[in-house]
């Protein structure tokens, strides 16, 4: 198969990807800041990272992935203080919700999920290392990174540093490009704020040092891939590069992959704009986890994704199309034997699928290969050209594509129930199969009135039954 090409934010080019250590990809993913529930914009980025991970596994690589949980930053400290609780207590609820949401969206867990507050010692040691090399200075108990001393500063975000005053400082974790200044590695405690007593003094880490310390702890000093949303390019990732490379003298991450925004009416979905949906908001309106996963995965990560309820409905229909197709192949009986052309058609689809993903994770192209196959096989079936012996190959190709997209197993109802959305949940496959079997039994004993009533009840819940000539039954969702 072909090379993997990734668009690398660092070089601005599409480049062939080969990991540094043969057979193993080391990847760092900036996780959520757990000061509130994550919204579906955040999950656009997390679903992309999951697809990336699954694709690299499909290509035969072992994955060593670290995702951090930012459980200390400006907003967490403010919110925890306002709520009158400690920061661990404050963030616990949002960490639990985040983990639950990732499971709901079939996002595979990383090998290491690292909480910032469990790694304060690692951050302190990294700051000490930077101090020994004179990249830092102290002011009022806080420690700053001296960006003028790091010549590569700006290489990721391509920021223009002319006009930046040496020694001008910025204390907040998040800031604009216009505020490119020496940034805080370690912040002196303000009255009433939570702090750690350490060998570099009392205080707490800045946001950026968290990721450098945790990435290098688990992945070594040079990582293969670093990912996040485009809003993290500056200042967060620029600062991660400065801190890490200043300390080690080695390249920090070889490939930087940034997911574009999810938008609502042309604006970034964000907490500060108030235009956001959490997973729970959508489930409360009757939407399903699989539809959301499909929608988030269907637009290639470097393109903006405009979120609409219509788009989510269409995504639900696409998932149903895939599931109904697989159910059809499994339940319908076709003439014996094998057709001449089907094996070649399936191979072509598998090759197109892989080629799409190899081209900078082009999920739209990969999904198009799947839906083209579905269309062609349905046509072949309707024309009587499909044979029983063709079914296993087509099903295997569908399974292979599902190792990336993870949509075929219908767990929607069970997941929604687990989250407490009973009413919104339609029947899942297991429940439908049980009801269909019960109706079949009624037909067998001649109780057609009961069988008809069951058919109507299922129709009310969106399930259509078709009795086949051989006395069997096929079902699909409306």
Of 32 and 289, nearer to ligand AMP (C-beta) is: 32
Applying CB under 6 A, which part among 13-21, 102-110, 165-173, 260-268 lies near ligand AMP?
Answer: 260-268
Q: Do 61 and 24 meet the contact criterion of CB atoms below 8 Å apart?
A: yes
> Under the criterion CB under 5 A, does residue 143 sit at the interface with Zn ion?
no
Q: Report whether 412 contacts 289 (CB < 8 A).
A: yes
Structure tokens at 150: 């790091």
- 42 interface partner picked from ligand AMP, Zn ion, none, CB below 5 to 8 A per type: ligand AMP
Burial (Cβ within 10 Å: 0-12, 13-18, ≥19) of residue 170: middle
Quick one: 306 or 393, whose CB is closer to ligand AMP? 306
Question: Judged by CB under 6 A, does residue 269 bind ligand AMP?
Answer: yes
For position 30 contacting Zn ion by CB under 5 A, the verdict is: yes
Query: What angle is formed at CA 431 by the lines to CA 425 and CA 334, rounded to 5 degrees?
Result: 120
Q: Is 80 in the site for ligand AMP (CB under 6 A)?
A: no
Q: Which x/- pattern, by CB under 6 A, does the window 200-239 give for ligand AMP?
A: ----------------------------xx-xx-------
Write the DSSP assignment of 318-362 as a string of letters: HHHHHHHHHHHHHHS---SS--SSHHHHHHHHHHHHHHHHHBTS-
Choose the binding region for Zn ion from 206-214, 344-352, 381-389, 402-410 (rule: CB under 5 A): 206-214
CA distance linking residue 449 with residue 433, whole number of Å = 20
> Is-contact 58 296, C-beta < 8 A?
no
Residue pair 173/207 in contact (Cβ under 8 Å)? The answer is: yes
Nearest distance, CB of residue 47 and Zn ion, angstroms: 18
Provide the CA 363 distance to its chain's centre, in angstroms.
13
Whether the ω angle into residue 437 lies within 30 degrees of 0, i.e. cis, is no
DSSP code at position 304: -
Question: Considering only 72-80, 94-102, 118-126, 210-218, which stretch makes contact with Zn ion by CB under 5 A?
Answer: 210-218
Nearest residue to ligand AMP by CB is: 229
Contact status: 157 vs ligand AMP (CB under 6 A): no
Nearest to Zn ion of 156, 419 (CB atom): 156
**CA–CA–CA angle 56, 13, 217 (5° rounding):** 50
Residue 68 DSSP one-character state: E
Residue indicated by tokens 């198009």? 368
Q: Write the binding mask 14 to 53 for ligand AMP: x where contact by CB under 6 A, - elsewhere.
A: ----------------x-xx-------xx-xx--------
Q: Does 259 bind ligand AMP (CB under 6 A)?
A: yes
Nearer to ligand AMP by Cβ, of 143 and 233: the residue is: 233
Which one of 23-31, 256-264, 406-414, 451-459 is the stretch in contact with Zn ion (CB under 5 A)? 23-31
> Considering beta carbons, is residue 184 or 299 the nearer one to ligand AMP?
299
- 107 lies in the binding site for Zn ion (CB under 5 A): no
Q: Which two tokens stand for residue 467?
A: 């009795």
Phi, psi dihedrals of residue 52, rounded to the nearest 5°: -60, -45
Q: Tell me which stretch binds Zn ion (CB under 5 A): 53-61, 116-124, 207-215, 315-323.
A: 207-215
Q: What angle do CA 247, 17, 55 make, to 5 degrees?
A: 110
Please give the Cα distance from 401 to 136 (Å, whole number).
Answer: 49
In terms of CB distance, is 213 or 397 closer to Zn ion?
213
Q: Which stretch binds ligand AMP (CB under 6 A): 101-109, 132-140, 247-255, 265-273?
A: 265-273
| Chain center to CA of 366 | 17
Residue 233 has what DSSP assignment? I
Q: Whole-number minimum distance, CB 126 to ligand AMP, in Å?
A: 20
In the bound state with ligand AMP, the residue whose beta carbon lies nearer, of 270 and 339, is 270
The footprint of ligand AMP (CB under 6 A) covers 30, 32-33, 41-42, 44-45, 228-229, 231-232, 259, 261-262, 268-270
The footprint of Zn ion (CB under 5 A) covers 30, 211
């Amino acid at each position: 198969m072909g090379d993997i090409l990734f668009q690398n934010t660092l070089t601005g080019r599409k480049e062939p990807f080969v990991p540094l250590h043969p057979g193993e990809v080391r990847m760092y993913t900036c996780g959520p800041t757990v000061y509130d529930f994550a919204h579906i914009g955040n999950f656009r980025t997390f679903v992309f990272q999951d697809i990336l991970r699954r694709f690299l596994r499909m290509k035969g690589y072992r994955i060593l992935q670290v995702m951090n949980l930012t459980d200390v930053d400006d907003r967490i400290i403010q919110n925890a203080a306002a709520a009158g609780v400690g920061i661990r207590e404050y963030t616990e609820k949002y960490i639990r919700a985040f983990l639950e949401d990732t499971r709901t969206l079939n996002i595979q867990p990383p090998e290491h999920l690292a909480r910032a507050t469990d790694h304060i010692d690692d951050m302190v040691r990294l700051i000490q290392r930077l101090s020994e090399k004179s990249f830092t200075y102290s002011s009022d108990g806080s420690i700053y990174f001296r960006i003028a001393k790091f010549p590569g500063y700006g290489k990721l975000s391509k920021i223009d540093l002319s006009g930046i005053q040496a020694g001008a400082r910025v204390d907040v974790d998040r800031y604009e490009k216009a505020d490119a200044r020496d940034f805080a590695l370690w912040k002196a405690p303000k009255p009433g704020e939570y702090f750690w007593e350490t060998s570099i003094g009392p205080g707490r880490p800045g946001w950026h040092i968290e990721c450098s310390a945790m990435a290098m702890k688990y992945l070594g000093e040079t990582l293969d891939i670093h990912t996040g949303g485009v809003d993290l390019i500056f200042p967060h990732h620029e600062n991660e590069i400065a801190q890490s490379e200043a300390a080690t003298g080695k390249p920090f991450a070889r490939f930087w992959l940034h997911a574009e925004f999810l938008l609502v009416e042309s604006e970034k979905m964000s907490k500060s704009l108030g235009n956001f949906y959490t997973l729970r908001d959508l489930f409360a309106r009757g939407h399903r986890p699989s539809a959301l996963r499909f929608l988030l995965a269907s637009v290639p990560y470097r393109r903006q994704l405009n979120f609409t309820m219509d788009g989510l409905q269409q995504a639900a229909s696409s998932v149903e199309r895939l599931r109904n197709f697989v159910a059809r192949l499994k339940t319908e009986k076709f003439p014996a034997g094998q057709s001449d052309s089907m094996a070649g058609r399936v191979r072509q689809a598998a090759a197109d699928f892989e080629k799409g993903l190899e081209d900078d994770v082009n999920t739209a192209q990969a999904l198009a290969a799947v839906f083209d196959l579905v269309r062609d096989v349905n046509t072949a079936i309707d024309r009587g050209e499909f044979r029983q012996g063709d079914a296993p190959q087509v099903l295997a190709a569908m399974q292979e594509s599902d190792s990336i997209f993870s949509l075929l197993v219908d767990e929607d109802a069970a997941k929604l129930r687990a989250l407490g959305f009973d009413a919104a949940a339609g029947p899942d496959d297991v429940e439908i199969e049980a009801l269909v079997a019960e109706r079949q039994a009624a037909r067998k004993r001649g109780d057609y009135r009961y069988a008809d009533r069951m058919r109507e009840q299922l129709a009310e819940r969106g399930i259509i039954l078709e009795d086949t000539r051989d006395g069997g039954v096929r079902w699909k969702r409306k």
